[in-house]
Every structure is written in structure tokens, then in C-alpha cells.
A and B are shown apart, each in its own frame.
Chain A
Amino acid sequence: MCGNEAMAEAAIRAGCDAYFGYPITPQNEISAYMAQRMAEEGRVFIQSESELAAINMVFGASATGKRSMTSSSSPGISLMQEGFSYLAGAELPAVVINVMRGGPGLGNISPAQGDYFQATRGGGHGDYKTIVLGPSSVQEMADCMPLAFDLADQYRMTAMILVDGLLGQMMEPLTLEPKPRPKLPPKDWALTGRKGREQNIVRSLWLGEGVLEKHNEKLQAKYREIQEKEVRCELYRIEDAEIVIVAYGIVARIARAAVDRAREDGIPIGLIRPITLWPFPSHQIRQAAEEFRVFLTMEMSSGQMLEDVKLAVAGKAPVLFHGRMGGGLPTVDEVLGKIRELTLRTGTPKIRNPKSETISNDPNPNDQNAEAGSEPVMSLRGAQRRSNLDPMRGRLLRFARNDMS
């Protein structure tokens, strides 16, 4: 079963009443699977005329208290932003899967992580947030589905599963065991016909003086509660780590393999893997930064989660970045190369492209002598192989001090 199908089956088992979707690669396995299985279950499946219609069908189904979802990929998710904003304003639960592909524009159909900003910042108009889960295996993708439905119902908002096209297509062993589920608040707000009660209204328009501000304050209080209670992340071998990679999704899988290989060489390195991208594990990263480590953020983007890592680190440690864009996937060897550059460096660090990197102590930041190319952001001059780790700490500290000066 591929990741896309795993999410579809897990959604059905999580009690999804209705699925609405419009074809787009690389997530078409979800709608094909749903077309078959939802019919078998006697539930609702509609191939909509557009992503706009799909998210509005979710809006309608959800307003009547049903569990509903849609799935799409980057360009289609852009079209749904209007609906996300209305869902947030009207406080309706919804589950959305974004199987990201390369952008901007039509881009390509290769895996990418370029929608991180769009997902974690709301994406549509107005002050709102979306719960964003970033699983990194087929098993975890399946496990995220009941979690997403529960969180959406609990907090009456959209929960998005943000994965890339590779995870969507990847096949891995999977077990779908029923797990205990939380008790959720009753949906007494749902539109079911006003029999035996007063009229229910679902709305996002608040025209009265100060009413919309109060509504926004309520939403923000809810978001703060989620930030306190719902952060999920994995800390991998960071206890004694001097270098901490921060990565999510498929990139975290690659980073994890690189951490294991680097550890075999005696390099003290670990991984922080955010599972919730919003709420972001800022606290865990800040704690790691207290111990003065060097952070290496890795993404399949130009550096979007990088901003959240930097906000969490708050200048207490250097934050480096390695990214691939437009459907490029970093290899384990590529990551190891970055790690070795960090650990083997002698002399002062030099950043080739100061615009895209915070770390630079070069007196002439426009110096373009370093090797050309668009790939690595960081380049260290005078690299020399060393296997002794003790001096490394000193180098890292000096490296960091240089950065912060």
C-alpha cells in the first residue's frame, strides 16, 4: 500500500463520512481509493468540478456535523485557500491532505516542501491558523489521519496533513490497529434542522462594532491552547549532540540515515523532527539551543521551516541551512557531505551566498570566489579532514561566536 492509499484507508477507519476531491498528481491514488472504498462503506464520495468546489463541499458536509475531508497537491491547495479561511472563520472542522509537488506555478510533479509557509501561516486571508501534521513514513501518515480528525473536531478547525509526493507514492509495511480515541465535545453547533431547539447558524460575518475583534480573540485563545497542548516532535540522538539537524517529512528520513552514518564516524550529531509543523516545536528547539549546539535545517524548499527554527533558536546558536528546490531530493551522501564540511573545517567559516544564509564573518560578503552553483548555501573554506572530535567543540564554539558577532 502506498502512502496515499494508506492515508485514504486510515481516514475511512477514522470515521470519515465524506470525501470530495479533484484530480491532481501526485495524490490521485487517494481519490481512486476513496471512489472504491467509500462506495463499499455506503459513504459519500464526489469528484468535484474544481478544488474550490471540493473545499466548499467539505464546508457543507462539516457544517452538518459530518467528518469530511479533501486531498490535493500544491496548485490545488492554492485554490482551496478561500475555503480554509471560511472554515477558520466559521470554526468548522475539516481534514485536508496536501501531497506537495514542485512549484511555483504549475511547477512539476516531483516531491517538494515548498508549501510550508502557505500551510503553517494560514494561507488564506485573515488571522487564522491551521493544524499541520508532517509525517515521515507510510505508517505515520496513516496514524496521522485519526489524529487529524480528532484534532479538527476537538478544536473546530482545519487539520492538514502535509507530505510530499515521494511519501505519497512510497510503499512501506503498514499496520492499521484500532487505537483508543479521545472523548470529543458534542457537535451541538451543527446544522441538522432546528427540531427541538433554537435555530443554529454557521457564519463568519461579524459586522457589529467590536464583535469581530472578540471573535478573533477567541480564535487566538484557541490557537494558544493548541500551542501549549498539541506539539509533537521526535528527538533522535540529541542528548550529546553538538550538531542538530532539524528536518521533517521525507527529508527527516534522509537526515536520520545521515545521523546514523555520521555517528559511526564518531560525529556527535542528532535530529529534531517536528511532527506538528504548526504548532511548531519551538520549545524543544529552544531547549536544544540552550546547550549551544549548531543547527542544520534541511528542507526541500528554499528555507521555509528555517524561519521557525531561527525564531525558536532566537540567536542563541548558529542555524545553517541545506535545501533543494523544484523537486530535488537530497541524498544521504549529500547530507553527510554537509556534516563533514561542518566538522572538518579549519579556519573561519565563509558563506558563499550571504543573502540566503545568516552565518557570515566574511569581511567582504559579496566575494564570489567560492565555487559557483546554486546548490549548497554554506561553503567552508580550507576544509581539512580531522577525526579527533575534541577540538571540534572549540571550533564550533568559535564558529558560532563568529556568527553571532
Chain B
Amino acid sequence: MKTVFKRTPVLKDCPTHYCPGCGHGIAHRLLAEVIDELGIQDRTIGIAPVGCAVLAYNYLDVDMIEVAHGRAPAVATGMKRCNPDRIIFSYQGDGDLAAIGTAEIIHAAHRAEQLTVIFINNAVFGMTGGQMAPTTVLGQVTATTPAGRQSNGQGYPLQVCELLALLPGVTYVERCALSSVSRIRQSKAAMKHAFERQIEGAEGLSLVEILSPCPTYWRMSPSDAMQWIETHMRRDFPIGRLKG
């Protein structure tokens, strides 16, 4: 019989700790496929964030490091500058990258570091219990916005891709989503392109933002969560290539 689907060798054969309906499992699978297809498993070093994906090294079979909250782009900078022939990626959530790590991502981009960043935006702090993130949309109820996020006092959703696209040190930025099969395919294509830019030695940072469901802290079913990306997140986070 012809094999039409199999485990990618970059993904380890073990169950994950993610909640049912979480987008991290899909994003990990896409990342693993991309690393495998590009043939870079043996020269890739990955950076796990603080957040739900902190244990990503348990699932991805590449050399990996776990770093302090938000500091991944600085750690990646140290790695890449000392090892220009290695492929360095960070995998960061919205609390990690868009809140505590804002300085690190902006400055890695502004220095035009040759790095690949996979930015998972699920509009909440998942690991700590569903608190407001900078990317929480207006009106969204979280543990720390019980009345829904109000712009007056809690600010507006932070659009990281739009910010980064302004910087000359960024070579490629695209926002994708996991809300349908076609969007998942596009997410993989974008991830692949982000790695290819680094492999080619293109000057500058590549970042792919992925709108990802968190049914647990959005308090809805996995299928409703996929719908909610389309109905609520896309408004503030338009999907598409912004640069490169």
C-alpha cells in the first residue's frame, strides 16, 4: 500500500502535553515537516520560550535550548553570530514575544539578525491561566479582563508584524492562521520560506506570525475556537504577507 501520511522524523514519537484543540500541536508538526523537507535537522538549533511551548524540545528532535521569558531573540543572536552556518529559530508565544520580550525582538530585527522566528499568537497568556496578552482583542474576556478588554486603560491589540515590517532589518514577515486546511497549508509555506531566507543567507530577520486557537482559555470548543480566529482575530490581525 502506498504511504500517504506518516510521522515526520523531526517529531518525536510521544504524546504532547497540550490541551485538546490547542494550535501548538499543529504548529509543531508544520515546523517539523519544514525542517525535515529542508534537510536541516542536523544543523538546526531551536529555542523554546517560556509559556505553553516551553517543553517543545520534548517533541522536536533538534538541538534545543530553553530560555528566560522573552529573551529568545537575544539568545538566538548570540548563537547565530557565533555559528553563522547553523540554522537558528525561536518559537515564541504572544506573552513572550509581544509583552516581556518586545525589546529583544525589535532589536534583533533592527540589527538585521539572520534568524527565523515562529510567533504563535493565541491572544492570551496560556500557561499562567489565560490572562490578557498584548494581542488580546478588544472586548475579549480573560482572567485579567473580566469585563472584556477595554481600550481605555488596557490599550489596543499590539500588531507585531506591522511594527516589524517597518524595519529595514527585517527580510520577511507574514501573518498566517491555523483556522482551516488551506490556512494551515499557507502557514507551512510561510514557515518554509522563513527558513529558506536564513539558509540563503538573506540579510535580516524572518518572522511568521500564526493565529492559533486556545479553546481552554477562550472558553469554547475547539471547532468554535477555529471559527473565532476568523470572526474575531482577523479584524485586528489581517492575514497575509507584509514584507519580503
Contacts and interface: CB of A to CB of B under 8 A. Distances in A.
Interface of A: 17-18, 20, 44, 46, 48-50, 52-54, 56-64, 66, 68, 82-83, 86, 90, 191-196, 199-205
Given A57-B74, A82-B68, A83-B68, A194 B79 contact: no
B82 A17 contact: yes
A60 B65 contact: yes
Contacts, number: 127
Interface stretch (B54-62, B117-125, B138-146, B157-165): B54-62
Given A193-B86, A203-B57, A61 B63 contact: no
A202 B62 CA distance: 12
Contacts of B64: 191, 199-202
B74 A202 contact: no
Nearest to A203: B66
B68 A56 contact: yes
Contact of A205 (B41, B61, B66): B66
B67 interface: yes
Nearest to B87: A193
A123 B68 CA distance: 16
A64 to B, nearest CB: 5
4 closest pairs, A vs B, by CB? A60-B78, A57-B78, A60-B75, A56-B74
A279 B66 CA distance: 29
A61 B57 contact: no
A12 to B, nearest CB: 15
Interface string B65-92: 1111001001111110111001000000
Contacts of B74: 48, 52-54, 56-57, 59-60
Interface residues of B, number: 32
A90 to B, nearest CB: 8
B42 A193 contact: yes
Contact of A56 (B44, B66, B82, B104): B104
B239 interface: no
B78 A20 contact: yes
Contacts of A54: 74
Contacts of B81: 18, 44, 46, 57, 61
A328 B62 CA distance: 53
Contacts of A200: 63-64
Interface string B99-130: 00001101100010000000000000000000
A199 B58 CA distance: 10
B200 to A, nearest CB: 18
Contact of B66 (A58, A68, A204): A204
A195 B43 contact: yes
